Structure 1
Amino acid sequence: MTAGRLLLWRHGRTAFNAEARLQGQVDIPLDDVGRWQARTAAARMLERHEPTHIIASDLVRADETARFLARAAGLEVVPDVRVRERAFGEWEGLTGDEIQASWPEDFALWRAGGEPQRVGAETRAQVAARMAAAIAEQAAALGKGDTLVVVSHGAAISSAVGELLGMAPEWRGIVGMLNAHWAELISSTADGQASWRLTGYNLGPTDASSDWNAGPDTAHGSEADAPTRDPD
């Protein structure tokens, strides 16, 4: 048995996302825009799907995002450390310019699709393996009519999608995912083995405002839900 549908949902925006800082496993909460994104995306997700089970990274930005959906769906959030973001070691909290200034060779290698070797970062293969293990375990307890939602992070989700599609860790055939958007996969069985098929990527309510990353539109300052004021 396995869940019939899998939604891999990225958390809403944080201050580090807004500042283009590499978050990794730094535990930072959603900002005002991120909370609006999570609430708006949860409502849109529920228009299309009926979640059965929700698991989330134990990092607060993912947990906060998951709880918007859980409250609306009447479900609990189950934390799972295996769906945390990829660890980036010494690079965490830094901008691209700051990383490039101190580690020019490793930065160039990373941007070209390689693995930084000297900064304490997890490899894509390591992230893909732990993500896939968590998904397989949680999905196995569900049935074909069930929808499993995994609330995670940008780099972790892209690694998981590649692994679930049977691609090599270095495969980079998908673009980065917007905050509070998701990937949808459905399960199939071949030769007695469960497998996954990607049916949608970077899905979400991009029509909710003219600029999703800036929050709700505030025409003439009258939007009641306006925030006060990621790469993952």
Structure 2
Amino acid sequence: MVARTVVLLRHGRTAYNAALRLQGQIDIPLDEVGRWQAEEGASALIASHRAAKVVSSDLTRAADTAGAYARLLDVPVEPDVRLRERSFGDWEGLTGEEIAAGWPEQHAQWRRGADPDGVGAEAKAVVAERMVTAVREHAEALDGDACLVVVSHGAAISLAVTGLLGLDASTWRGVAGVHNVHWSHLHRSAPGAVPDWRLVAHNVGAGYPLDRWQAGPHADLEPEPKSA
């Protein structure tokens, strides 16, 4: 049997997200906004998807986001290193401007969707293969009515969706990224159908306007009055 529903959930915000730094596999924790997003997103996700199994990248930002959801179900989180973010080699921790200044040709390649040469970045096809293999393996361990929630990272999720739809992750760029604590929902196709998974929804979240979501839990608070 194979789970009928797979949800791919991105982790909450980190300080690197807020500063527009490329994280890759650096183990950055959630910031205050990210912890709030994880809790709010968990409440929204459980209203439509109650997972029989929750698996997560072993990186802290993903594992803690997974924990916020799994606690509502009273189920464990199973770590899986294959669900990590794409490794970006020498570029990890840098901003786009820093990358463009230091590696202009490779940056242009990356912006076109190609794998950048000579910086130690993991190839997109490799990321898609490990992600798809992991998702399929975990899904196959569940019965046909079950839901699997997979907590991972932005680039890894886009590549996983591409791979699960039977597309070439090394060249096809038709899947946009998901925001922090937003998710993609895939449904198992009928036996023998190609591809064997269909994308039902993408970049779904808790329903906040994006600017409010990015601002965090204190966005609506009035400023303290100034003393005379």
TM-score bucket of the superposed structures, by smaller chain = over 0.9
Aligned to 2:113: 113
In the alignment, residue 220 of structure 2 is paired with which amino acid? T
Q: What amino acid does structure 2 have at the position aligned with 1:173?
A: G
Mapped contact 2:166–2:195 kept (Cα < 8 A): no
Task: Give, in whole Å, the separation in 1 of the partners of 2:81 and 2:176.
Answer: 24
1:50 shift after superposition = 1.2
Query: Which residue matches 1:167?
Result: 167
SS in 1 for 2:196: strand
Say which is worse superposed, 138-147 or 187-196, in terms of deviation.
187-196
Query: Once the 2 structures are TM-superposed, how far is the Cα of residue 180 of structure 1 from its aligned partner?
Result: 0.5
Question: Which residue identity does 1:202 align to in structure 2?
Answer: N
1:46-84 CA deviation, whole Å, 9 max, x = no partner? 111111100000000000000000111111000000000
Q: Does 1:219 align with 2:221?
A: yes
Which segment is superposed worse, 28-37 or 208-217? 208-217
Q: Tell me which residue corresponds to 2:103.
A: 103
Partner deviation per Cα, 1:75-129 (whole Å, 9 max, x = no partner): 1000000000000000000000000111000000100111101000101100000
Which sits farther off after the overlay, 117-126 or 194-203?
194-203
Superposed displacement of residue 218, structure 1: 2.4
Contact 2:165 2:195 in 1 (8 A): no
Q: Specify the code of the residue in structure 1 equivalent to 2:184.
A: A
- Match for residue 227 of structure 1? none
Answer yes or no: is the 8 Å Cα contact 1:54–1:148 preserved in 2: yes
Give the distance between the partners of 1:176 and 1:165, measured in 2 at CA.
Answer: 15
Partner of 1:141: 141
1:9 and 2:19 correspond: no
Q: SS of the residue aligned with 2:222?
A: helix
CA distance in 1, matches of 2:115, 2:138: 29
Superposition pairs for residues 26-45 of structure 1, below 5 Å? 26-45=26-45
TM-score normalised to structure 2 length: 0.93
* Structure 1 gaps, min length 5: 223-232
Secondary structure, counterpart of 1:219 in structure 2: coil
CA contact (8 A) 1:2 1:194 kept: no
Mean Cα displacement is larger for which, 190-199 or 37-46?
Answer: 190-199
Mapped contact 2:164–2:195 kept (Cα < 8 A): no
Q: CA deviation at 1:22?
A: 0.3
Task: Give the 3 Å change call, closer, same or farther, for CA 210–107 of structure 1 in structure 2.
Answer: closer
- Aligned residues: CA RMSD: 1.6
| 2:191 corresponds to 1:183 | no
The answer for the alignment partner of 1:228 in structure 2 is: none
**Offset at 1:210?**
5.2
Q: Which has the higher contact order (CA 8 A, sep 6+)?
A: 1
Q: Distance in 2 between matches of 1:192 and 1:178?
A: 30
For the 8 Å contact 1:86–1:127, the answer to whether it is kept is yes
Q: Structure 2 unaligned runs (5+)? A: none
Counterpart of 1:28 in structure 2: which amino acid?
Answer: I
Q: CA deviation at 1:194?
A: 7.7
Give the deviation of 1:174 after TM superposition. Answer: 1.8
C-alpha distance in structure 2 between counterparts of 1:109 and 1:101, whole Å:
14
Q: What is the aligned partner in structure 2 of residue 56 from structure 1?
A: 56
